[in-house]
Structure 1
């Protein structure tokens, strides 16, 4: 059986503490961290601006941040090519790498500590952005196809990376069925994304009231 990508998924409801848990794990790695924020605040949504500000204030200043509402795999690979194996293979041994990753021989412990961690927060908003980028959000088939395309592209990128990955996502499927079609489509699409990601993850946690429960390990 092929070894799974070093991927951890944190699931939870709103204000469950899932983001804080994910950030704490990223901080413990001791290496460089790229924080990928998928939120996109509209000018007429002050509460979302405030939520984004709180997340920014909580992140360590030395972390890199990429604000990316859509096409995560493409944007991450273009902005940080040295994180991925194909880019690293194109650098000759005499040529110093751009990011410092693998710049000199290290013992195993130090090399592991310096591996980059990519934290994506969150899948919930990413899937929402995918839905509302469609010409017809009511078309469930088109939406699920778009979700599969974006998620599978990200999972393929993970497989050729030298990074740790931490993803945060909401679990919206514990309540009743939504009354309107777009909301139902969204819940179906998010559930699909979560299942695809969890199937590739080494560890999956459900966070409730700041406490985490291991779902898969």
Structure 2
């Protein structure tokens, strides 16, 4: 039986560690889906990747999937746990796409998640708690990620907010708002 879990929060809040804990607790075969692109010229990024790798058990399968996330999820074994870290990086990898193309990609992901039999844990950044970005690409990123996280939270069995090192179960503390489609033109 499938289960969808969303773990969201700001940078350095502990959301990846919490998602890794949840994946370990499943006692299933874990497939860690890294959405970031390797960049050997960016030593700081390489260090972040290395720190994530060192935290994970060696028996987890790691897949680097910067774009075709829906295909990997669709192929998931029913008795596995897929941990996607992170949606923010995945969304950023599509910023070159126009709104219609992006909308189709996001819809494909949501539809795929709704029909799989595996357990899936998504890690997503919260980016909309600050000022409105002063540049168009920043606003596109913030809006796309915010909308995707909101839509995903509605179909998730459990949604957690991790902030300041604390884990909050949003389903126990609140209730989801209905999704209202906004005109982005």
Give the aligned length: 172
Report runs of 4+ in structure 1 exceeding 4 Å deviation. none
| Aligned match for 1:120, one of 84, 100, 111 | 84
Q: TM-score with structure 2 length normalisation?
A: 0.86
Tell whether the 8 Å contact from 1:127 to 1:189 is kept in structure 2 after alignment.
Answer: yes
Q: Distance in 1 between matches of 2:141 and 2:76?
A: 34
Cα RMSD between the aligned structures?
Answer: 1.8
Where do 5+ consecutive residues of structure 2 fail to align? 173-185
Identify the residue that residue 115 of structure 2 maps to in structure 1.
Answer: 160
| Aligned match for 1:214, one of 155, 169, 180 | 169
Identify the residue that residue 59 of structure 1 maps to in structure 2.
Answer: 56
> 3-state DSSP class of the match of 1:165?
strand
Q: Distance in 1 between matches of 2:157 and 2:103?
A: 20
Deviations 1:50-99 (A, max 9, x none): 1111111111000111100002112344xxx4625xxxxxxxxxxxxxxx
Cα deviation, residue 32, structure 1 = 0.5
Matches within 5 A, 1:14-163: 14-77=11-74, 81=75, 83=77, 115-132=79-96, 134=97, 142-143=98-99, 145-163=100-118
Q: TM-score with structure 1 length normalisation?
A: 0.74
Cα deviation, residue 39, structure 1 = 0.8
Tell whether the 8 Å contact from 2:73 to 2:112 is kept in structure 1 after alignment.
Answer: no
Where do 5+ consecutive residues of structure 1 fail to align? 85-114, 135-141
